[in-house]
A = this chain, B = another copy of it.
Amino acid sequence: MAEIAVMGHGVVGSGVLEVLLSHTDSISKRAKEEIHVKRILDLREFPDLPYSGCFTKDFGDILNDPEIRIVVEVMGGLEPAFSYVKACLENGKSVVTSNKELVAQKGAELLALAQKNNLNFLFEASVGGGIPIIRPISQCLAANEMTEIAGILNGTTNFILTKMIREHMAFGDALALAQKLGYAERDPSADVEGIDACRKICILASLAYGTHVYPSGVHTEGITSITKEDVGYADAWGGVIKLIGEVKKLENGRVHIQVAPMFISRESQLANVDDVFNGILVRGDATGDVVFYGKGAGKLPTASAVVADVIDCVRHLRSDRKILFWEDAKPDYVQPWEDTPQDLFVRVSGKEDSDSLFDLAQQVFPEAVRLIRRDEEQGETGFTLSDVTENQLKAKIPPLEERGLKLENRITIADF
């Protein structure tokens, strides 16, 4: 019998209990012993549950119980999750978490602590919900250099963009619908500003390349500036707009990492990842492109990923710890985003008709390739540029303005 504790009885926490109770037999078989939830930490009262007797409001009841050797942290947020998890790892307890903020901010420190004490710190559920991605990256693709990882990592923004693309909704209307359906929080900023996707690509980048990338070091754009016009130009270009978290290993040993809405070709395997689904592309030198697709969030998918980690922990109580590890951040490890050349879509506005506007834009960008969207209106034009850095683009704003052109938006064009 393996005794575990669950910290947090919100959506994911209650899902963990549900999965454990509804799949008892198959889980015991996989874990090779029974798993029993001895304690659940939550400040709220849940008097009517079959396991109401397990609840405690005192973290000490978990920390100081030597029978509990595995602790599940599904509270979310940085504190007190970080202090509790750290204390667990310092006191001989392995930890499983679904908390992406915790892993993205404190992963290197907690992994080092786990390694030092020969414990597991596992977090499959922190990225991609029920899609297995942490384990495949760390294990199956071990015999493979990952040149690039790119993913649709946030279901809420993908739902909003899908509505904008398929039903031509404006951003605000699509957001309101997402809120109404419960896909977006009342304060949607962590999703629509790209913060959630940023935490996830940081976790994947750290794991894939062995060096911690902190969210603060990652150029992060959300989707709030994406308009119906942009969606139309993406269509004219032959693709769709998706919010992508992307990391590439560069030949100089650094990584190029960013979160941004991108033009994605309709031929790309990520182009058809719609609604609240996530899709993650892992490009390897030996495997080629491998794509993982599924529901990136939700109570039961996330809970089943947590429980799979718990099973692994139970099995590893009797043997070697798993090898999930990365080093702390290194200076200059992240390539400066502003100096990284990328293909770009640029949309400008002005007082003249579209043809004249494009002619004027071409005086500034002679290599511009024009796009004409369906329902294009006078006073706007759009075009693509190849291999331009953000700094180069910024330097062109004054000459654009001299010609009466306003830069309305610039969107990265993906290369996958």
Taking Cβ atoms with an 8 Å cutoff, the residues of A that contact B are 19-20, 23, 26-27, 30, 32, 124, 129-132, 135-136, 139-145, 269, 272, 284-295, 298, 300-301, 303-308, 310-312, 315, 318-320, 323
For residue A139, which residues in chain B have a CB less than 8 angstroms away from its CB? 132, 135, 308, 311-312
Contact B286 A300 (CB under 8 A): yes
Which B residues touch A135, using CB under 8 A? 135-136, 139-140
Query: In the assembled complex, how far is the CB of residue A75 from the closest CB belonging to chain B, in whole angstroms?
Result: 20
Complex Cα gap A286–B20 (Å) = 11
- A292: chain B residues within 8 A (beta carbon): 290-293
Find the B residue at minimum CB distance from A269. B293
Q: Is the CB of B287 within 8 A of A294?
A: yes
Residues of B within 8 A of A319 (CB): 318-320
A289 to B315, CA, bound (A): 27
Q: Would you list the 7 A-B pairs with minimal beta carbon distance, nearest first?
A: A319-B319, A143-B307, A132-B140, A130-B287, A286-B304, A290-B294, A291-B293
Q: Verify A288–B136 contact, CB threshold 8 A.
A: no
Check B286 against A143 for contact (C-beta < 8 Å).
no
Q: Name 30 interchain pairs, CB-CB below 8 A, sorted by A.
A: A19-B143, A19-B144, A19-B286, A26-B142, A27-B143, A30-B143, A124-B140, A129-B287, A130-B144, A130-B287, A131-B290, A132-B132, A132-B136, A132-B290, A135-B135, A136-B136, A140-B305, A142-B311, A143-B311, A144-B304, A285-B300, A286-B300, A286-B301, A286-B303, A287-B300, A287-B304, A289-B294, A292-B293, A315-B323, A319-B320
The quantity of this chain's copies bound in the complex is 2
Q: Which of B30, B287, B294, B318 contacts A142 (CB 8 A)?
A: B30
Q: Report the minimal beta-carbon distance from A242 to chain B, rounded to whole angstroms.
A: 15
Q: Complex formed: what's the CA distance from A273 to B308 in Å? A: 28
A23 vs B306: C-alpha distance when bound (angstroms): 31
- Identify the closest chain B residue to A129 (Cβ): B287
- CA A301 to CA B310, docked complex, whole Å: 30
Look across to chain B and name the residue whose beta carbon is closest to the beta carbon of A136.
B132
Contacts of A140 in B (CB 8 A): 124, 132, 135, 305, 308
Compute how far the CA of A236 lies from the CA of B295 in the bound complex, rounded to whole angstroms: 30
- CB-CB < 8 A to A30: which residues of B? 142-143, 323
| Cα A346 to Cα B278 with chains together (Å) | 36
The distance from the CB of A286 to the nearest CB of chain B, in whole angstroms, is 4
The chain B residue sitting closest to A131, CB to CB, is B290
Q: Nearest chain B CB to A325's CB is how many angstroms away?
A: 9
Q: Which of A124, A139, A305, A323 has the most CB of B within 10 A?
A: A139
Distance (whole angstroms) from the CB of A320 to the closest CB of chain B: 5
Q: Which residue of B lies closest to A124 (CB)?
A: B140
Given A135-B136, A320-B318, also A288-B143 (CB < 8 A):
no
**How far apart are the CA atoms of A39 and B390 in the complex, in Å?**
54
Which residues on B sit within 8 Å (CB–CB) of A145?
Answer: 23, 26
Q: Which B residues are in CB contact (< 8 Å) with A293?
A: 269, 289-293
Contact residue among B286, B294, B305 (Cβ-Cβ distance under 8 Å from A130):
B286
A315 to B290, CA, bound (A): 25
What B residues does A272 contact at CB under 8 A? 269, 272
Shortest distance from the beta carbon of A187 to any chain B beta carbon, whole Å:
27
CA distance A308 to B285 in the complex (A): 14
